[in-house]
Amino acid sequence: MSLADKVLAVNNDLPIRTDLPIHSGKVRSVYWLNEADSRRLVHEKGYDVAHDAPLAIMIISDRISAFDCIWHGEGGLKGIPGKGAALNAISNHWFNLFKEHGLADSHILDIPHPLVWIVQKARPVMVEAICRQYITGSMWRSYSKGEREFCGIRLPEGLKKDQQLPELLITPSTKGVMRGVPGVPEADDVNITRKNLEDNFSSFNFSTPEDIDRYEILLKEGFSVISQSLSALDQIFVDTKFEFGYVTDASGQEKLIYMDEVGTPDSSRIWDGEAYRQDKVIEKSKESFRQFLLNHFPDPDILLNKERMPEREALAREHALPESAFMDLSRTYTDIAETITGKPLNISDNPKAEIIEVLAKEYGLIDTP
For residue 52, what is the domain's CATH number?
3.30.200.20
Tell whether 26 and 53 lie within a shared domain.
yes
pLDDT of res. 188: 83
Tell whether 139 and 94 lie within a shared domain.
no
For residues 168 and 89, give the distance between their C-alpha atoms in angstroms, rounded to a whole number.
Answer: 26
Tell whether 129 and 115 lie within a shared domain.
no
pLDDT of res. 324: 94
For residues 231 and 229, give the distance between their C-alpha atoms in angstroms, rounded to a whole number.
Answer: 5
Assigned domain for 225 exists? yes
For residues 272 and 279, give the distance between their C-alpha atoms in angstroms, rounded to a whole number.
Answer: 11
Tell whether 201 and 117 lie within a shared domain.
no
Assigned domain for 30 exists? yes
For residues 86 and 286, give the distance between their C-alpha atoms in angstroms, rounded to a whole number.
Answer: 12
Assigned domain for 336 exists? no
Domain end, chosen from 221, 256, 277, is at 277
Domain end, chosen from 277, 294, 311, is at 277
Tell whether 11 and 99 lie within a shared domain.
yes
Tell whether 171 and 110 lie within a shared domain.
no
Tell whether 242 and 101 lie within a shared domain.
no
pLDDT of res. 3: 62
Handedness of CA 107, 354, 268, 94 (dihedral sign): positive
Q: Does residue 201 contact residue 212 with C-beta atoms inside 8 Å?
A: yes
pLDDT of res. 145: 93
Tell whether 192 and 154 lie within a shared domain.
yes
163: DSSP letter: P
Assigned domain for 137 exists? yes
Name the residue range of residue 104's domain: 3-122+341-361
CATH of the domain at 243: 3.30.470.20
For residues 163 and 155, give the distance between their C-alpha atoms in angstroms, rounded to a whole number.
Answer: 12
Q: Does residue 11 contact residue 60 with C-beta atoms inside 8 Å?
A: yes
pLDDT of res. 39: 96
Assigned domain for 300 exists? no
pLDDT of res. 152: 85
Tell whether 228 and 207 lie within a shared domain.
yes
Low-confidence ranges of the chain (pLDDT < 70): 1-4, 369
For residues 353 and 287, give the distance between their C-alpha atoms in angstroms, rounded to a whole number.
Answer: 31
Assigned domain for 217 exists? yes
Using a 10 angstrom Cβ sphere, with 0-12 exposed, 13-18 middle and 19 or more buried, the burial of residue 115 is buried
Taking the model in full, what pTM does it have? 0.92
pLDDT of res. 2: 60
Assigned domain for 314 exists? no
Q: How many domains does the chain have?
A: 2
The neighbour count for residue 186, using CB atoms within 10 Å, is 11
Tell whether 111 and 139 lie within a shared domain.
no
Tallying the residues shown for the chain, one arrives at: 369
Tell whether 270 and 162 lie within a shared domain.
yes
- In sequence order, what are the residues at sequence separation of 6 or more whose Cβ sits closer than 8 angstroms to the Cβ of residue 60? 8, 11, 27, 28, 84, 87, 88, 115, 116, 117
Tell whether 68 and 133 lie within a shared domain.
no
